[in-house]
Amino acid sequence: MAEAPLPAIRSLPSWLLGRAAARGRALVADALAAEGLKMWHHVVLSAVRDLAPVAQADLGRGVGLDPKDLVGVLNDLQSAGLVVREPDPKDRRKNAVSLTTEGERLLKRCEKAAREANKQLLAPLSVAERDRFMGLLIRISGTDG
């Protein structure tokens, strides 16, 4: 009789990474929800802080979000008073996005909440194991960190 597929699938690194990623996303999503934000709101706020003032199109490319979806996220953030869209000083035909003071304050709280969620995710590991794990993740993700 053939072996059931689930044990074979569960032994795949890709499956285990997916499970760990799903757990990490859930922990972070819950932490952000406590601050009233969703994941994409947090990503966009963080990118705006790093790039501001940033043209809306450049922001979308920078975070890898479809322009239609980005408009929805920005509408939510602007309605909440977290970002402003004003004519881009480099090209007045475009909008540039910047954080408001409240957006900066909320982003700091969200970053702290996300760090705590990630600490919870890695809690079963020792400090040395965490450092090694992060190094390995960076190597296999194809990023430079």
Question: pLDDT digits over 7-58, tens only?
Answer: 888 889 999 999 999 999 999 999 999 999 999 999 999 999 999 899 888 9
Residues 6+ apart with CB under 8 A from 52: 96, 97, 98, 99
- Domain 28-115 in this protein, CATH class: mainly alpha
Phi, psi values for residue 83, rounded to 5°? -135, 160
State yes or no: pLDDT of 1 exceeds 90: no
Report the largest interatomic distance among the alpha carbons of the chain, rounded to a whole angstrom.
70
Q: Is pLDDT at 145 greater than 60 in this prediction?
A: no
- For the stretch 56-74, pLDDT in tens is 889 999 999 999 999 999 9
Domain range annotation of the chain: 28-115
